[in-house]
Amino acid sequence: QVQLAEYGGGLVQAGGSLSLSCAASGRTFSSYAIGWFRQAPGKEREFVAAISQSGVWTYYLDSVKGRFTISRDNAKNTVYLQMNSLKPEDTAVYYCAAGADYPEVTSLKYVYWGQGTQVTVSS
């Protein structure tokens, strides 16, 4: 069993940066790949980034490549999403997810979800 909680959302101007954290409880955190997803109003939840258990492998949505960086610290049971050069289209509720054996892009592969944190980018 893993419980997840996201932190770090907020309001930022276009071109600015935010750093999201996903803190996890449970001894099995390091055995799971972790994903970040987002959901904008009226849209389906979409994949943003994922990271393997060791942190060696990372994957990104094409539109965030070069702007977002996912990382993890297994000693702290925490995954991070550094978001730079933010755009208004990045506005969404951001969720972290765990429970996948591999860094998956589909939300169905993840078992555990956080409550989400709002990111709003003004133009």
Model pLDDT, residue 1: 82
Give CA–CA dist 103/78, Å, rounded. Answer: 16
- The token pair that represents 115 in the structure block: 């409550």
Give CA–CA dist 75/82, Å, rounded. Answer: 19
The mean pLDDT of 13-31, rounded to a whole number, is 93
Model pLDDT, residue 67: 98
Model pLDDT, residue 47: 98
At 52-108, the pLDDT tens digits run 999 999 999 999 999 999 999 999 999 999 999 999 999 999 999 998 889 999 999
Model pLDDT, residue 27: 75
